[in-house]
């Protein structure tokens, strides 16, 4: 299969022919009473809304979310946003050789490389209690850790985004150790590795994640704080390490309004919070600036106080 140019980069008036993944489908009726489908397509570069006019019952049953289709059509504009006007559409088949993964954005670093780095950092943990707890928890969640995004939107919201976020934070942390030698790296590294793993239970799936019931009721922070307690009991580990790891996870959002019932009161907990914020913000800015030219502004970035960022020409 030849990947066509990304759907997000097409211009109004262009013809489109290629494969797309269906993200969602809604049924509608025109003012003259005729049925149509509003389909959101996606590929790695983004999404586009499309209209399939005069849709049949069969269309409705064929073109379902998660299906890959081949589409011919034209890019038009509607209320200031691009829209794909479908002329032809058919379901893809095995012969097309297309896979769901081809249409989903993923981390910009190779998975294997990230896994290696993570393993290496776990070996660097010197406190045996901390190392055992980290290993035991990673073992439980290993598969999901490799595929989950770090969030449903805003930052690292792509396949393997979670491990990408963890690894980037570990790299910052390792540098901080050189500058501020007082840091307890066992605490800081372990905190970074564990802090967001609760997302694996908070979110429903790596591909198109939504919040689980438990996620809404308890949240990834409380779930991971529980997990550390339960794991420590299973391993028969007692001592300040357990409470400290719980505190690092519990406080990593920084304050109550942001979801942490306790603010950090251990240096490494505060630093974990700062590194988390820094990596998340850099990820957002870098990805937004990637798709604009020098001299231009990005779209508004909501979690960065809705600012638009400028790309210098120098």
Site for a copy of itself in 43-62 (CB under 8 A): 51, 53
If the CB atoms of residues 1 and 53 are measured against a copy of itself, the closer one turns out to be: 53
Cβ within 8 Å of residue 284, ≥6 positions away:
154, 155, 301, 303, 304
Pick the binder of a copy of itself from 67, 111, 237, 285 (CB under 8 A): 285
Site for a copy of itself in 171-210 (CB under 8 A): 171-172, 175-176, 178-180, 182, 184, 186-187
Least separation in angstroms between CB 2 and a copy of itself: 28
C-alpha distances in Å from residue 24, one per residue of 35, 41, 119, 195, 262: 17, 7, 38, 32, 39
Pick the binder of a copy of itself from 207, 259, 291, 292 (CB under 8 A): 259
If the CB atoms of residues 15 and 77 are measured against a copy of itself, the closer one turns out to be: 77
Pattern 84-123, a copy of itself, x by CB under 8 A = -x--------------------------------------
How far from the centroid of its chain's Cα atoms is residue 147's Cα? Answer: 10
If the CB atoms of residues 91 and 258 are measured against a copy of itself, the closer one turns out to be: 258
Name the DSSP letter for residue 65. Answer: T
Using the contact rule CB under 8 A, the part of the chain among 21-29, 98-106, 117-125, 195-203 near a copy of itself is 21-29
Pick the binder of a copy of itself from 9, 27, 90, 140 (CB under 8 A): 27
Site for a copy of itself in 134-153 (CB under 8 A): none
How far from the centroid of its chain's Cα atoms is residue 75's Cα? Answer: 28
Give the separation between CA 37 and CA 25, rounded to whole angstroms.
Answer: 7
Element (H, E) at 300: none
Pick the binder of a copy of itself from 11, 95, 265, 293 (CB under 8 A): 265
Structure-block tokens of residue 310: 């400028």
Least separation in angstroms between CB 226 and a copy of itself: 5
The 8 Å CB, 24+ separation contacts for 168-171 are 168/279, 168/283, 169/275, 169/276, 169/279, 170/117, 170/118, 170/121, 171/117
Q: Please, how many CA atoms are within 13 Å of residue 121, restricted to the half-sphere of its CB?
A: 29
The residue count for binding a copy of itself (CB under 8 A) is: 84
- Verify binding: residue 235, a copy of itself, rule CB under 8 A: no
């Amino acid at each position: 299969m030849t990947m066509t140019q990304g759907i997000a980069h097409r211009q109004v008036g262009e013809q489109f022919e290629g494969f797309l993944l269906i993200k969602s489908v809604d049924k509608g009726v025109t003012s003259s009473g005729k049925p149509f489908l509003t389909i959101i397509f996606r590929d790695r570069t983004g999404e586009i809304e499309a209209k399939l006019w005069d849709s049949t019952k069969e269309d409705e049953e064929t073109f379902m979310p998660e299906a890959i289709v081949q589409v011919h059509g034209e890019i038009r504009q509607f209320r200031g946003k691009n829209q794909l006007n479908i002329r032809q559409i058919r379901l893809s088949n095995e012969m097309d050789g297309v896979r769901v993964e081809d249409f989903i954005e993923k981390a910009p670093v190779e998975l294997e490389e990230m896994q290696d780095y993570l393993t290496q950092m776990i070996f660097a943990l010197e406190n045996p209690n901390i190392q055992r707890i980290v290993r035991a928890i990673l073992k439980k969640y290993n598969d999901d850790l490799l595929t989950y995004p770090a969030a449903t939107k805003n930052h690292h919201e792509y396949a393997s985004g979670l491990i990408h976020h963890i690894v980037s934070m570990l790299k910052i942390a390792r540098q901080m150790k050189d500058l501020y030698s007082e840091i307890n790296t066992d605490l800081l590294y372990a905190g970074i590795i564990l802090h967001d793993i609760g997302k694996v239970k908070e979110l429903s799936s790596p591909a198109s994640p939504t919040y689980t019931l438990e996620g809404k009721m308890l949240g990834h922070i409380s779930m991971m704080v529980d997990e550390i307690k339960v794991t420590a009991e299973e391993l028969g580990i007692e001592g300040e390490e357990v409470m400290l790891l719980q505190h690092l996870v519990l406080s990593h959002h920084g304050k109550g309004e942001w979801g942490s019932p306790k603010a950090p009161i251990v240096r490494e907990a505060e630093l974990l919070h700062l590194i988390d914020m820094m990596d998340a913000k850099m990820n957002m800015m870098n990805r937004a600036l990637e798709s604009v030219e020098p001299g231009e502004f990005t779209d508004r970035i909501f979690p960065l106080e809705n600012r638009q960022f400028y790309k210098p020409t120098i």
